Amino acid sequence: MLGEGIAKGLIETARNFLGSYVNKDRLTTVQYPEQRLPQAEATRDFPFLVYDGEDWQAGLRCVGCQICEKECPPKCIFIEKSTDKKPDAVGKPQFYPAVFNIDISVCMSCQICVEVCPFDAIKMDTAFELSTVDRFGGLLWDKARLAKPNQHYHHVHPTEAAEVDGRLAEERAKADAKAKAAAEAKTSAPPPAAPPAAPPANSGVSSTS
Amino acid sequence: MSTSMEASTPAAHQGFADATMIDHESDLLQISLGPHHPSTHGVFRMDVVLDGERVVKLKPVFGYLHRNHEKIAESTTYLASIPYTDRLDYMCSLSNNWAYALSVEKLAGLQVPERAEYIRVIAAELTRLQNHASTIGFLMQEMGASGTPLMYAFREREKILDLFEALTGSRMMCNYMRFGGCRVDLPAGWLDQARKTVDEYPRFLDEFESLLASNEILLARTQGVGVLPPKLAIQGGVTGPILRASGVNYDIRKVDRYGIYERFDFKVPLGEHGDVYDRYMIRMLEMRESLKILDQALHQITPGPIIDPKAKIRGFRPKPGEAYGRIESPKGELGFYLISDGTPNPYRYRVRPPSLINLTVLEDMCLGSSLADTVVIFGTIDIVLGEVDR
């Protein structure tokens, strides 16, 4: 009979419409600004710089090695490496990024910078409501805006952050053990001519031991 | 004003002023459909010459979305091209990742661990499900069933995109596969969620079929429209569901057996007439076959490493040589041809996009049909302009 197929389709539509009154699963729309879905843990949008401790300038893990700048596919990262060294969170003198800018309007949230970073210094954030009326300054984020504490990293990606912290602690323990062994070897050998811990903000590229 | 058809076609490219003109002597009407037309799936233009309601000449015009993808890939590292492959066919970013990773693995001789192969199959088949769902949704939209079928399809697609987000961190620009494996392991509970989605999916297919499969308007508008003969399809280099709808048994999952596809039991659905209806039905049937593959893969997957330990993230330099990796993407044969000269950048990087090559038979399918059918025939090719223009 002509029209049978159309009637069959309409019954299907009616079933969905009436079903939405009894079955919550059929109401699939989320009324966004009022209702929000929980974000998946792996969600990523823009990068941030992780720092340890309280002071963001002292605690930045980034050493300005510029690997992420080179690997970034759309080239949205701009880094100027410092000429001097500053002590990092554990007191070891390190280079630091004098300038670290990310152009958020260019960034395509691909996470390549996170993967290539050998220091676990750059990670992906999950904040997404970032619209601004200033399209130049408001979208070019400097390191003050990018720096976020390690606690924030634990908050947005708990599993991943725990893994990274474990790995960093292991590396640090290994380095400490090595330094200790070297110090012991030195004390047992001739007079201890080794200088004390390097003074902070030692200029130039002088080695520390 | 030109009098012959041959003379009027080049004029259409001189500017928008000449885009529409009436030829009074032969009653031919030349119109420009697109580039900003809701039915063109992006910025795509068709120069159509009409005799009354019938199409006598059709010329696809594209390139509005050209982004220099291949040249950019030749000037950056191998790794940095993966996010750009997401943006080729932005509906199926995981398939694109796989095709590119496959050709680099051939080039560098990397071995993919078993778990990573399973994850790749699962990701690619989920991609096929959501691509075909949205394709038939858009197709119905173009035939005038505005809203309902597309919304039903998108409701299902949403569930699969949620899975992608939980796995890769992004819904569409997944950037997930790496040379020699995958970026991260499956998160806790992901497999259960995926099994649930796959188990519920047939309900949507049944619903969609009872919604439309016997609809008289749909049958009248699709059966016998836009026939693509198998011989022409093969000559045109057409691949994917369109080729199989014409009755040619060619599926790279069966022919090439890349990855671990030989382990799964699935059939390749074939059409008989090669018309719009067959191309619609072939996608419905392919979704059912994909569900079979997914069901097997989700139950066979075992724990293990997910990336080849020899694979390097920084300082990746494959030895000089060339490689071509291809997969059966939801739209057809997607291939990447690479030449390495031993530097961190590829010397040559070439994409074989299924959308572009399938588009070459558009004129042959549309000649003689009405303008309204042209839109529908174009919809069944299932192109994405990001891949056509690159």
The conformation of residue B327, written as its DSSP 8-state character, comes to: E
What is residue B132's predicted lDDT score, i.e. its pLDDT?
92
Query: What is the Cα–Cα distance from B183 to B388, expressed in whole angstroms?
Result: 28
Residue by residue, DSSP assigns A39-85 as PPTT---SEEEEE-SS-HHHHB------HHHHH-TT--EEEEE-SS-
Q: Identify all chain B residues contacting A110, using CB atoms and an 8 Å cutoff.
A: 82-83, 86, 173, 175
Query: Among residues of chain A, what percentage have pLDDT more than 70?
Result: 87
User: Which ranges of chain B does DSSP label H, i.e. alpha helix?
Assistant: 5-11, 69-75, 82-86, 93-108, 114-142, 148-168, 190-212, 216-222, 230-235, 241-245, 252-255, 276-300, 354-358, 362-366, 371-381, 385-389
In-domain check, residue A160: yes
Average pLDDT over residues A177-194: 69
Query: What is the Cα–Cα distance from B369 to B227, expressed in whole angstroms?
Result: 10
The conformation of residue B313, written as its DSSP 8-state character, comes to: S
Query: Which of B80, B167, B170 comes nearest A71 by C-beta?
Result: B80
Block residue for tokens 């950019």:
B72
In-domain check, residue A154: yes
Q: Report the chain A residue with the minimal C-alpha distance to residue B166.
A: A40
Residues of B with CB under 8 A from a CB of A: 76-77, 79-84, 86, 148, 152, 155, 158, 162, 165-170, 173, 175, 183-184, 187, 207, 210-219, 313-314
CATH at residue A153: 3.30.70.3270
| Per-residue pLDDT tens digits for A71-107 | 888 889 998 888 887 777 666 777 888 888 999 888 9
Say whether B329 sits in a helix, a strand or coil: strand
Are B233 and B243 a contacting pair, CB within 8 Å?
yes
In-domain check, residue A28: no
Are B9 and B57 a contacting pair, CB within 8 Å?
yes
Say whether B255 sits in a helix, a strand or coil: helix
What is residue A166's predicted lDDT score, i.e. its pLDDT?
84
Domain total of chain A: 1
User: Smallest CA–CA separation between A11 and chain B, in Å?
Assistant: 8
Q: Phi-psi category of B180—alpha, beta or left, where left has phi over 0 and alpha has psi -120 to 50?
A: left
Inter-chain residue contact A110 with B148, CB threshold 8 Å: no
Q: Is A141's pLDDT higher than 80?
A: yes
Q: Is A206's pLDDT higher than 50?
A: no
Mean pLDDT of chain A: 80
In-domain check, residue A191: no
Name the pTM for this structure: 0.83
Does the ipTM exceed 0.90? no
Full residue range of the structural domain in which residue A150 is found = 47-170
In-domain check, residue A209: no
In-domain check, residue A146: yes
Nearest to B365 by CA among B229, B220, B223, B222: B229
In chain B, which residues have pLDDT < 70?
1-26, 38-39
In Å, how far are A14, A147, A167, A202, B83 from A205, measured between CA atoms? 76, 26, 28, 8, 37
Identify residue B375 by its one-letter amino acid code.
V
What is residue A205's predicted lDDT score, i.e. its pLDDT?
44
Query: Which of B168, B175, B313 comes nearest A116 by C-beta?
Result: B313
In-domain check, residue A139: yes
In-domain check, residue A15: no
